Amino acid sequence: MKLESKKVVITGASSGIGKEILSLLLAEGALVVVGDLNPETISDHPNLRKYKIDVSKTSDIDRLLEESIEILDKIDVFIANAGFAYYEKIQKEDWSRIKNIFSVNVFAPIYTIQKLINLQPKGVHIIITASGMAHLPLPGYALYSATKSAVHSFAEAFRYEMNKNFKLTVVYPIATKTKFFEQAGNSVPIPWPAQEPSQVAKKIVKVILRPRRTVYPSFRFKCLLVLNRFFPFLFPIYRLWQNILFQKWQKRKES
């Protein structure tokens, strides 16, 4: 791959997909700046600079972008990978919980784009890690699905507004075996089909060299999207199945 000296900034690289992306970038000789809540868990590297940031805070995003440009001179690629999910039933009203997930999953990447338009008007390639749940929302992930659908809709509209020097790629991974499921243990059902973080990371690194509007790391999921156009009952049936698993999980949790 021709990533040597490519200047990349990535958020959320201490675990999961981000960790795999970072490993590939450094192996290919890219110059990388990472913004993460836990940068101390990331191994040092001559081509790497790490910053402790919380993407839900605009001041932290400002600092990451401004210092990255100061260090790298410019940003070739920005990967908005930081994000998280809740697996829960929507019950009690909780404004702060809603705000928290939207701040990280939606507001942060959109604000970053706005900031980069002004900081680097000559252009940049922005890659956002969304989710297959932007197309197929699932029970238990209502808030998470809503955030990823919001990112999807924003990207679809913004592409027509952005300067021709800007490139925007949205990635739609399916359930990925990351720390979220590891921490939750075997009790949380992993939606089928699932994939490894390394599979997603390889697709994301590949799109740096050949920019595209969208990336679907799972061929199976891409086929399901096509099939659902002809057989629109497929997704509702799948949701019913996932809801059965969700209800069972809830009962186990409450017992």
Q: What is the pLDDT of residue 193?
A: 82
What does each C-alpha distance from 168 to 5, 60, 132, 182, 211 come to in angstroms? Answer: 21, 22, 17, 31, 8
List domains and CATH numbers for the chain.
Answer: 7-254 (3.40.50.720)
Averaged pLDDT for residues 15-43: 96
pLDDT at residue 185 is higher than 50: no
Q: Which of 109, 216, 98, 221 is nearest to 154 (CA)?
A: 109
pLDDT at residue 178 is higher than 80: no
- Give the tens place of pLDDT for each residue, 59-101: 999 999 999 999 999 999 999 999 999 999 998 899 999 999 9
pLDDT at residue 145 is higher than 90: yes
Q: What is the pLDDT of residue 186?
A: 52
Whether the link from the prior residue into 173 is cis, omega within 30° of 0, is no
Q: Which of 199, 57, 215 is nearest to 127 (CA)?
A: 215
Q: What is the pLDDT of residue 180?
A: 62
pLDDT at residue 1 is higher than 80: no
